[in-house]
Structure formats: C-alpha cells, structure tokens
C-alpha cells in the first residue's frame, strides 16, 4: 500500500469534528435559550397575576380601612359623650352608635396569586422583588392577626356588655335597617328604652378604650401594608 493511500485527511477530520462539536453546542444553546424563554414567560405570567392581585388588594385595603375609620369615629364620639356625663348625645344617636359598633369588620383579600408567586420565587430573576414578595406574606399575616383582634373583642367583650345593658331588639332593628342587599323584617319590640344611662358606666368606657386601641393599631398596620403594596406595584409597573 502506498504512502498516498495511507495518508489521513486531517483537515477533513478536523472540519467534521468542528461541525459536530458546533452542532452539539448549538443544540445545547437552543435548548438553554428555550428553557430560559419558558421560565421568563412563566415569570411574566406570575408577576402579571401578582400585579393584578396587588391592585385589587389595595382597593380592598382602602375599603376596610374606611370601615375601621368609621368604627373609630363612633368610639371617639361615645368616649367624648361619656366624659361629659352623657350630655350632648341624644338617645337615638346613642342607639345608632351602639348598633354600628355591634358588628366586626371581616376583611377578605386575594391571596391566591400572591401565594402562587411565593411558591415560584425561584422563577423571579430580580432578587429585590423576590425578597419583597417574601416579606409581603409576613406583613399580611401580621395584619390579619391584628384584624382578628377586633372580631375577638366584639365577641368576647362588646356583645356581652350590649346584651346585658341594653334592649337588644331595639338596637338590632337599627342595625338590620342598614342592610341594603335584602329586606329585613323588624324584630317586635314592646317598649322604647333610653340607653343614655349607659354612658355613665365604667364598663362601657373600658371596652370603648380597648376598641380605640384595637382600631388604631389596625389602621397603623393597614397604612404600613398599603405603603408596601404601593411600592411593589410601582416596581412591577
């Protein structure tokens, strides 16, 4: 066999090797690009859902804040009247204030998209956004704990006081008349009761002071969460 026959075409081997390696690297690159694109698309969907939920929750938060502000205003009026020995407040106005305070605010927020985002934090490239979303869950849980305090206070302190010291059917009819979604029937009453003497009760004043504390704490927490939500919305927009 001649030397020409034995000669190895190194150039062709090299070129073919380069082509094979290039093809493999290109395939890996395309796969990595596609995987990254899918992750970014999923990230965009998650953050889009989070943005919608944040906006909705900001509206919910504003609504519930207004309810707590109304309750706090009722408490302040009653405390002022009690400090003045019950003067300056009519029996009818007192009944409306007592009826208005006999319900608890039960907030309802959208947590689904936010919880889903927390479960997919690894998809979010922005480290600041990941950290803030993780903090949001803790802040929301803390707010919920404060908001529960009002319901517990109404159940454990306010309603036992109202049941023991007022004519409940009279207050109930005032409260039921404020419901607009359906036509409530009035509870039969056999007399009209003047509750103004209740304003001289230390027990009422003590419960009102506790309610003032609770509503003020809730409003402070709501303001903090609202500022946090606004910061997240501004970052996502």
**pLDDT at position 10:** 67
Lowest mean pLDDT of 74-78, 168-172, 220-224, name the range: 168-172
Q: Has residue 33 got a pLDDT over 70?
A: no
In a domain, 112, yes or no: yes
Mean pLDDT of 43-69: 86
SS3 92: helix
Residue 204 located in a structural domain: yes
pLDDT digits 0-9 by tens, 63-113 = 999 999 999 999 999 999 999 988 788 999 999 999 999 888 888 887 777
Q: Number of folded domains in the chain?
A: 1
Range of the domain at 110: 8-236
pLDDT score recorded for residue 65 = 94
Q: Give CA separation, 220 vs 27, 110, 167, 213, in Å.
A: 56, 21, 34, 11
pLDDT, position 164: 94
Rg of the chain's alpha carbons, rounded to an integer? 33
3 within some domain? no
CA atoms within a 13 Å half-sphere pointing along the CA-CB vector of 144: 10
Provide the token pair at 206: 């003590």
Q: Count other Cβ atoms within 10 Å, centred on residue 144.
A: 13
Any domain includes 1: no
- Residue whose structure tokens are 């998209």: 113
- Is residue 63 within a helix (H) or strand (E), and if so which, with residue range? helix 10-83
pTM of the complete model: 0.79
More confident call, 116 vs 163: 163
């Amino acid at each position: 066999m001649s030397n020409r026959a034995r000669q190895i075409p190194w150039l062709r081997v090299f070129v073919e090797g380069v082509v094979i390696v290039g093809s493999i690297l290109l395939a890996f690159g395309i796969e990595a690009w596609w995987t990254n694109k899918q992750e970014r698309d999923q990230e965009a969907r998650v953050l889009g859902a989070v943005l919608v939920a944040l906006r909705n929750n900001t509206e919910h938060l504003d609504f519930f804040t207004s309810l707590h502000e109304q309750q706090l205003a009722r408490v302040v009026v009653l405390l002022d009247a009690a400090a003045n020995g019950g003067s300056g407040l009519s029996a009818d106005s007192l009944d409306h204030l007592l009826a208005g305070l006999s319900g608890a605010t039960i907030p309802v927020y959208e947590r689904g998209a936010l919880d889903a985002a927390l479960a997919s934090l690894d998809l979010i490239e922005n480290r600041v956004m990941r950290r803030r979303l993780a903090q949001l869950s803790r802040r929301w849980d803390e707010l919920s704990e404060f908001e529960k305090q009002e319901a517990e206070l109404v159940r454990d302190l306010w309603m036992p006081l109202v049941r023991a010291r007022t004519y409940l059917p009279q207050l109930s009819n005032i409260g039921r008349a404020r419901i607009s979604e359906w036509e409530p029937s009035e509870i039969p009453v056999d007399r009209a009761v003047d509750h103004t003497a209740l304003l001289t009760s230390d027990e009422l004043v003590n419960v009102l002071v506790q309610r003032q504390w609770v509503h003020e704490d809730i409003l402070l927490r709501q303001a903090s969460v609202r500022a946090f939500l606004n910061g997240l919305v501004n970052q996502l927009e």
